[in-house]
A and B are shown apart, each in its own frame.
Chain A
Amino acid sequence: MGEILRLQTPLRDEDVEALRIGQKVLLSGVVYTARDAAHRRMMDLIEAGKPLPIDIKGQVIYYVGPAPAKPGRPIGSAGPTTSYRMDVYSPKLLELGLKGMIGKGKRSKEVIDALVRYKGVYFGATGGAGALLARSVLEAEVVAYEDLGPEAIRRLVVRDLPLIVVNDVLGQDLYEEGVKRYSRQPQA
């Protein structure tokens, strides 16, 4: 914990390899939004052998369905949605070069293994802090699936998005380690 690390997207292998659970990160650059429905559509394209609407190599996907922007603002409230619903899709995207995911909540063993295998990272953003997180979003533009409304894929330009490393390339899990440290229950 302690020191905050500034990171710029796209992420390289060496950026990701240096991260450990509990590390606080301020992320800047382009990130793409996608959640349930957008993932399902991307997976259909992959299965059909067709190209994805965005090049995901080295990129970071933020699991968010933002609130509508007020006039003059790039985006409305934009905090993370629960990640486990994307677990079935993430290993494939990591295989194709995705480097990072931002969300909240525990990932499956398959995702954690894929992070080790393909060198990726899972960041947590504070769930419920959508108004605060939106302040780090400088630009937002729908780049695919506009019909999905809040679930469309958006290209965001962020500055100093506050995150914490939850799963790293060593297969560690902050949720497991953190809870172990503070639990007053006998460990199972």
Chain B
Amino acid sequence: MREIGFEKIVETVSRLFIEANTELGEDVLDAIRKAKDMEESPTGKEVLAELLENARIAKEEQVPMCQDTGLAVVFVEMGQDVHIVGGHLYEAIQEGVRRGYRDGYLRKSACHPFTRANTGDNTPAIIHMELVPGDRLKIIAMPKGGGSENMSAVAMLTPSVGKPGIMDYVVKRVKEAGSNPCPPVIVGVGIGGTLEKAAILAKRALLRRLGSSNPDPELDQMERELLERINDLGIGPQGYGGRITALGVFIEMMPCHIASLPVAVNIQCHAARHKEAVL
């Protein structure tokens, strides 16, 4: 058994959320730069230039790139030979979120669903936990903004619609979302599993590096086709019209029930924030 202390986890989670909110990944910056070259709309080009400038300011001044610093989504891969000492893992994550959002001057965006009263410290975090072999603890911090999350959906499609039906559904979702999720977006697609599993697959898909290919050739081809169809919608940066509506489409798939075809679409704005650490 390898021991990892409570405080170490708190510090790590806190640091990851501050970093994720202030420093946009190189892969995203590269994708926006390329998009700016490809964009035909002058207004679209200007929007993309603003996003690059915004990322530069955020990093330089250590301020969040977007005021919506998200609900705190945390993916944990815990080796089965890890033992947490000094407290409960989930409590350490919650405390890390509390501390990161306070010390990083990040906005607290968690509230009661009816009264809308703010919880005041951005907890509770949404934790997705997986037990894996080994003695390491991997923590991925993913602050998820509300605007793009609101445009996401799960559908229980009829199996007979097949692959074309899945693709039509994804394109329809992005089209209906229009300017709301702050395009250019990244589209996470989860296919298969159950209602909740499809949604988690879609969210997990958003962690992939922009510019990377899907290891499954069929899904890779599907991602390329979807990206082309989405960019043909003409929504463009911020929805003002243009060539670049999405920077990438990522699919994760698993088997599903013989009666079902769950498909989840999780839309991510350009602020594709995720940072990870392995303890």
Contact = CB atoms under 8 A, between A and B. Distances in A.
Given A82-B150, A175-B178, A178-B236, A150 B65 contact: no
Dominant SS among interface residues on chain B: loop
A138 interface: no
B11 interface: no
A54 to B, nearest CB: 20
A48 interface: no
A140 interface: no
A63 B43 CA distance: 22
Nearest to A70: B105
B43 A22 contact: yes
Contact of B57 (A128, A131, A181, A183): A131
Interface stretch (B45-53, B91-99, B219-227, B255-263): B45-53
Given A67-B64, A81-B68, A106-B180, A179 B236 contact: yes
Interface in A88-127: 104-106, 124, 126-127
A83 B271 CA distance: 19
Contact of A149 (B43, B53, B108, B147): B108
Interface of B: 40-43, 47, 50-51, 53-55, 57-58, 61, 63-69, 105-109, 116, 118, 120, 146-147, 150, 178-182, 232-236, 238-243, 269-271
A131 B241 contact: no
A83 to B, nearest CB: 9
Given A128-B66, A149-B108, A182 B269 contact: no
Contacts of A126: 47, 50-51, 54, 238
Nearest to A124: B238
A177 interface: yes
A128 B52 CA distance: 11
A19 interface: no
Interface string A155-188: 0000000101000000000110111111111000
Given A81-B68, A131-B61, A150-B108, A185 B234 contact: yes
Contact of B54 (A68, A76, A82, A130): A130
A135 interface: yes
Contacts of A182: 40-41, 234, 236, 241-243
Closest 9 CB pairs of A and B: A178-B241, A183-B234, A182-B234, A127-B182, A184-B232, A132-B54, A105-B180, A129-B54, A131-B58
Contacts of B50: 126, 129, 132, 162
Interface size class of A (residues with CB under 8 A): 35 or more
Contacts of A70: 63, 105
Contacts of B242: 178, 182
Contact of A69 (B43, B47, B105, B106): B105
Contacts of B105: 67-70, 76
B239 A76 contact: no
Given A128-B269, A179-B236, 14 more contacts: A64-B67, A65-B67, A67-B106, A67-B107, A69-B105, A77-B63, A82-B180, A126-B47, A130-B65, A130-B67, A131-B61, A134-B67, A178-B239, A185-B234
Contact of A179 (B51, B150, B234): B234
A124 to B, nearest CB: 6
Contacts of A134: 63, 67
A184 B118 CA distance: 43
A148 B235 CA distance: 34
Given A127-B269, A182-B242, A36 B234 contact: no
Contacts of B238: 104, 124, 126-127
B239 A106 contact: yes
Given A105-B179, A106-B180, A76 B241 contact: no
